[in-house]
Amino acid sequence: MRIKAAFSYQLKNYFKSFGWVYLWSVAVVVILPFLISLLLGRINIYDISNYLPQLLPAMILSFYLFVFGGISYDGFKLFIQNGIGRKTYFFSKLYALTIILVVGEVINVLYGIFYHRFINAKKNPVMTFSVLYGHYFNSAAANAVSVFIITILFIACIMVTGMVIGSCLGLFSRRMQRAIIVGAPIVLFVLLAVLVMLNDQTSLKMTWIGDFLLFIVGMGNQSNTGHFVAFAPMLSGAIYFIVMLLISYRLTLHFRVPR
């Protein structure tokens, strides 16, 4: 297997693009408003906490992994031209993105601590999911670790969703892809409308779907926020991740060029 060469190539490129996405996001979200208020002469009322959302790096990371997880076919094209098959392409990409995910999440946590201490101490905990699961265990360390895992799994699920969408689109020609990108949201919207209409008659909360959703997030009957069952999202997240990963893998094996 040429996995080592493929992996190091992918990782290098991902880090490069990840850095660029970070830089641009910071430029757009932080520096641009700063410059505008400078131009308008209102620098005295510029407050960084108005512009620097606590979730910024988490959003960048999720967005990045969704998009770059979704870019599948172009990578495959390049790899098959360079004598590397679909399997190695898939796994090298998965491993490289996973590294980005972990590194990105560590940055998020550090940023969270920084934000908590220097920018806005009153609002928000270090990790967002603490609000839901931060007090499930008795030890603070166990809680921190479990919330960290849940966060990583959550972003991994976003990533793998991007991968499935990307590998699905990769099977179709450019023209077909455009049709799907335009058509799929419309179909989804119609489906949702139908669901809402049905919901008028029988409340969604009463059905098994509602129960199921509550079970997934780990909201038991008697648990308060912060005390949701931490194992529930871990389990459901892991299952979702694995199933979607398998789907994406199977789809990737069907890539061909020319399509």
Partner 1 sequence: MAKSKPIIIKHVSKSFAKQQVLNNIDLTIEPETIYGLLGRNGAGKSTLFNIITNRIPSSSGEVTIGGQTVTNNDELLNRIYLMSEANLYPSRMRVKEIFKLTAQLYQGMDMALTQTLTKQFGLNVNTRFSKLSTGSRSIMKLIIALAVDVDYVFLDEPTLGLDANHRRLFYDDLLDSYAKRPRSFIISTHLIEEASSLIERVWVLQGHQIIINGSTEAVLNKGFAVTGPTVDVEAYTKGLNIIGHEALGNLMVHYIYGELNNDRPIPDTVSISHIDLQRLFIYLTNQEVATVEN
Least separation, in Å, of the C-beta of 122 and partner 1? 46
**90 φ, ψ to 5°?**
-60, -50
The answer to whether 251 and 170 are in contact (CB under 8 A) is yes
Least separation, in Å, of the C-beta of 89 and partner 1? 9
> Long-range contacts of range 180-185, CB-CB < 8 Å, 24 or more positions apart?
none
Residues 76, 77, 79, 83, CA torsion sign: positive
Least separation, in Å, of the C-beta of 163 and partner 1? 18
Q: Which is nearer to partner 1, 8 or 50 (CB)?
A: 8
Q: Which is nearer to partner 1, 93 or 135 (CB)?
A: 93
Q: Which is nearer to partner 1, 42 or 174 (CB)?
A: 174
Task: Give the footprint of partner 1 on this chain (CB under 8 A).
Answer: 1-3, 5-6, 8-9, 74, 77-88, 253, 256-258
As a whole number of angstroms, the distance between CA 188 and CA 183 comes to 9
CB atoms within 10 A of CB 124: 16
Least separation, in Å, of the C-beta of 251 and partner 1? 14
The answer to whether 86 and 255 are in contact (CB under 8 A) is yes
As a whole number of angstroms, the distance between CA 73 and CA 257 comes to 9
Output the six-digit token pair for 151: 């966060």
Output the six-digit token pair for 256: 């061909």
Q: Which is nearer to partner 1, 41 or 83 (CB)?
A: 83
Buried b (16+ CB within 10 A) or exposed e, 186-210: eeeeeeeeeeeeeeeeeeeeeeeee
Q: Which is nearer to partner 1, 46 or 172 (CB)?
A: 172
Least separation, in Å, of the C-beta of 254 and partner 1? 8
Least separation, in Å, of the C-beta of 180 and partner 1? 19
Q: Which is nearer to partner 1, 81 or 224 (CB)?
A: 81
